[in-house]
Amino acid sequence: MRLKSWFSFFKGKIRKATPDHFWLLLGRYRRKFFLVNYSERDYRAQSKSSDKAYFVIRREPPGAGLFSNLNHVIQGLYEAERRNLVPIVDMANYWTEYSQPSKYLGTRNAWEYFFEQTDQVTLKQVYKAQNYILSKGNRIVGDDWLADKSLKYVLDPIKNEKIGMLFRRYIHLNKHSRFLLNETKNYLDWNPSKTLGVSLRGTDYLSIEPHGHPRQPELIDVISEVHRRMSSNEFESIFLATEDSHIRREFEKEFSGALIKDFRNSEFFERIVPRNMKMKPAATNGIVNTYAYLVETYLLSETYSCIASLANGSAAAIAINCNEYMEPTFLYLGTY
């Protein structure tokens, strides 16, 4: 496991072994630090500009995984629209685990490694004009449904459509990510119209059992559901979205003739990431794997239907799809 995964693993174990009253005491000290450094801050009073103010979306370093960070940004977009502010994402001054020691793809903003900025203005222009609000560094929308770690909101078509519309207005893959997505589609001879998407988390997620996050289903139950859907002869292929090699091997045994080939752990993806745009510095392994995860999620969003356990990646795919799956199955089993 990566260092952050080990940290999360031991944090989960300590949480289970710690009495509630002591854990709450530690939480109060953490919240005090958070309020001092990452509470919302309003700098609009310093500006004489009559232009619309900006809402700078930031996250308490080092953030988390790609789609957890994305969920945080969506909260910021939701809040910005609610308050009639212009959203912009700052993952340059507030570093993430993806941040690089020098410019990458011409920027220090880790958000822009994967996505286009949410507005044409630059962070430098925003800060110079001093007509902005800094977002909270965590749980921007407080106890609103969008901040629910259980991700149950994806089960509600109305809420899911709201998130999907935010995607369509603000969240767009950058040029490099679009290149990787298109190259992968060519490699796979991509035809989503008769494809069943299946999304399952595994590996460190199952061992960590992150508190409050969606509980993952048993693999045998998911395979049974896939067999049921495939028996209708409605689908010709299965696109499996998972980071777990054990899950993929089991699917290869059960659905060898229908399973779309793996690209995340192939030389193909490791080759095309550094090649594109002659990156300097070259992409690290962590960045390569994250691009693969990003592409996988966008492919999942295009499938005709899907069977998905809830996690930040599948929640993003469901939102991007915006209720266009045909009779999807979302597997919600409560939380850890």
**For 96-148, what is each residue's pLDDT tens digit?**
988 887 888 889 999 999 999 999 999 999 999 889 999 999 999 999 999 99
Scan for tokens 């709450």, then name that residue. 24
Question: Can you give the chain as a three-state secondary structure string?
Answer: CCHHHHHHHHHHHHHHHCCHHHHHHHHHHHHHHHHHHHCCEECHHHCCCCCCCEEEECCCCCCCCHHHHHHHHHHHHHHHHHCCCEEEECCCCCCCCCCCCCCECCECCHHHHCECCCCCCCHHHHHHHCCEEECCCCCCCCCCHHHCCCCHHHHCHHHHHHHHHHHHHHCCECHHHHHHHHHHHHHHCCCHHHEEEEECCCHHHHHHCCCCCECCCCHHHHHHHHHHHHCCCCCCEEEEECCCHHHHHHHHHHCCCCECCCCCCCHHHHHHHHHHHHCCCCCCHHHHHHHHHHHHHHHHHHCCEEEEECCHHHHHHHHHHCCCCCCCEEECCCEC
Does a structural domain hold residue 29?
A: no
- Asked whether residue 185 falls in the same domain as residue 241, the answer is yes
**Residue 266: partners with Cβ closer than 8 Å, 6 or more residues away:** none
Q: Are residues 73 and 211 in the same domain?
A: no
- Asked whether residue 264 is assigned to any structural domain, the reply reads yes
Record the pTM: 0.87
For the chain, give the mean pLDDT: 88
Are 209 and 297 found together in one domain? yes
Note the pLDDT of residue 271. Answer: 78
Residue 85 lies in a domain: yes
**Domain shared by 198 and 259, yes or no:** yes
271 & 203 share domain: yes
| Nearest CA-CA partner of 306 in 218, 219, 235 | 235
136 with 220, same domain? Answer: no
The 10s digit of each residue's pLDDT in 289-299 is: 899 999 999 99
Asked if the model's pLDDT at residue 179 lies above 70, the reply is: yes
Same domain, 114 and 178: no
142/232 same-domain check: no
Percent of all residues in the chain with a pLDDT value above 70, rounded to a whole number = 85
Instruction: Tell me, yes or no, whether 276 lies in a domain.
Output: yes
Task: Write out pLDDT tens, residues 266-314.
Answer: 778 777 776 554 455 655 667 888 999 999 999 999 999 999 999 999 9
In the sheet with 329-331, reading across from the earlier edge strand, the strands are: 237-241, 195-199, 305-309, 329-331
Mean pLDDT, range 206-218, rounded to an integer: 90
| Domain final residue pick, 128, 147, 166 | 147
Shared domain for 325 and 225, answered yes or no, is yes
Q: Which of 219, 214, 179, 222 is nearest to 197 (CA)?
A: 222
- Which range marks the domain in which residue 48 is found? 39-147
100/185 Cα distance (integer angstroms):
28
Looking at the structure, tell me whether residues 217 and 284 fall in a common domain: yes
Is there a domain that residue 211 lies in? yes
Asked if the model's pLDDT at residue 226 lies above 50, the reply is yes
Q: Are 289 and 182 in a shared domain?
A: yes
> Which residue type occupies 34?
F
Q: How confident is the model at residue 255 (pLDDT cuts 50, 70, 90)?
A: very high
Q: How many CA atoms lie within 13 A of 93 on its CB side?
A: 14
| Structural domain count, the chain | 2
State how far the Cα of 50 lies from the Cα of 47, in Å rounded to an integer.
Answer: 8
- The pLDDT value recorded for residue 284 is 64
Number of CB atoms found within 10 A of residue 2's CB: 11
* Residues 183 and 275 grouped into a single domain: yes
Residue 325: Cβ within 10 Å count: 21
In a domain, 25, yes or no: no
CATH code, 230: 3.40.50.11350
164 within 8 A of 322, measured Cβ to Cβ: yes
- Kindly state whether residue 169 falls inside one of the protein's structural domains: no
Q: Is residue 273 part of a domain?
A: yes
In this predicted structure, the answer to whether residue 92 has a pLDDT above a threshold of 70 is yes
